[in-house]
Amino acid sequence: MAPYYLYGMSASLYTAKARSYLRKRQIDFVERAVGHPHYQQDIMPAIGRLIMPVLETPDGQLIQDTVDIVDFLEAAEPPAHPVQPTTPRQLVTAHLLELFGGEGLLRPAMHYRWNFDDENIAFLAQDFAGCMIMGGDSVQRAQVFDMASGRMRSAAVAFGVTPESIPAIEASYEEFLALFSAHLETAPYLLGGLPTNGDFGFVGPLFPHLARDPHPSALMKATAWRVWRWCERMQAPGVDAPEYGDFPGAFFADDEIPSTLRDLLAYIATENLDEVLAQVAAIDEWLADNEVVEGEVINGKPARRMLGQVTFEWRGLPLTISVVPYRLYVLQRLQEAYRGLDEVSRQSDVELFEAVGLARLLTAQARRSVRRVDNREVWGPEQEPNL
């Protein structure tokens, strides 16, 4: 049987998430760069945009987006240990961690990649060009990198990386490293002895940007060795945790959320809650002023991922960022998991999320949901807004 093919880049945040999952699951796959002729000539036109990763299945199906890739593989290649826990607190917490990893860690990832050119740029130039163009001379490769780096530097600003916000970004990231390191003193993964979708959410920004680019890699190794080891562990098949001895290969018993993880959740409430709520409110406001129909591709074309801007307060600063409807899609998964529980289990989640300051994430929603159909974000059905 032919293997799966994963199209992406070594430097790509979301490719790292899908790659880590495939490696951990020991699923037979071949990674190909987005500069591969098959991606350029066949896959990109079918997807409708230059985006990564894309998984091509042995029978030729194309699946874009890490959330959808993991969902597909969990069903197509059923694992002994699913990446989503079954107990209520750990289930919803894993979804929260996936949301924060994929979206809430973008600022430090982009800052530490694009604002330290003396240390990073030679590495990044080779890393980007090597995946984006097959062959080519030095001039062509430099042109490809200049184009890509220009787009990514603009994206960094769109995510809130500015000269004014950089000191706060660095202070926030240092706090995150300390909290995650403290938790990793107790277990090799976020929820115990096995990775969850929360771990795969974290690995996207933490590995390719913050553990692999020269400047942030040195910072992580010097100040947060356990986080660096976790990044390394997330690239390996199996558990890869000899420093933890005979740690049980299971999630924490009795639906436990240990104090070190609660501390990390409280940090997420302080750092990311207002941003998520601002995104929900901005999308709701846009929908109030614009008529759309269910199933319509958001913004008319799949390549248009942003829906204006929103300003909110973060660490005492007014921060202006782009509105990204895809974030609602990931937030909705948390809420759908919560709503699918019985009443007693939902109350258990409410108690946890209230204790750490995140209760509003369980119910915040705009007047339409966001869905994904045919590898595109589309508007979902109408619903009662809850802001």
pLDDT band at 134 (very low <50, low <70, confident <90, very high): confident
pLDDT band at 305 (very low <50, low <70, confident <90, very high): confident
pLDDT score, position 158:
95
Q: What is the CA radius of gyration of the chain?
A: 20
DSSP code of 177? H
Residue type, 231: C
Query: Are 88 and 254 spatial neighbours (Cβ–Cβ below 8 Å)?
Result: no
pLDDT score, position 282:
98
pLDDT at 303 over 70: yes
3-class state of residue 28 by DSSP: coil
Beta pairing partners, 44? none
pLDDT score, position 284:
98
pLDDT band at 339 (very low <50, low <70, confident <90, very high): very high
pLDDT score, position 210:
98
CA angle 380, 386, 387 (to 5 degrees): 115
User: pTM for the complete prediction?
Assistant: 0.95
Query: Are 376 and 297 spatial neighbours (Cβ–Cβ below 8 Å)?
Result: yes
> pLDDT (tens digit, 9 = 90+) per residue, 180-210?
999 999 999 999 999 999 999 999 999 999 9
Q: Are strands 54-56 and 62-64 parallel, antiparallel or unpaired?
A: antiparallel
- Domain 4-76 matching CATH 3.40.50.720: the answer reads no
pLDDT score, position 136:
78
- Looking at domain 90-255, its CATH class is mainly alpha
pLDDT score, position 1:
63
> pLDDT (tens digit, 9 = 90+) per residue, 21-39?
999 999 999 999 999 999 9
Domain boundaries, the chain: 4-76, 90-255, 272-382
pLDDT score, position 55:
98
Contact partners, residue 193, CB within 8 Å, separation at least 6? 187, 239, 241, 244, 247, 248, 249, 250, 251
Residue 224, Cα to own-chain centre: how many angstroms?
21
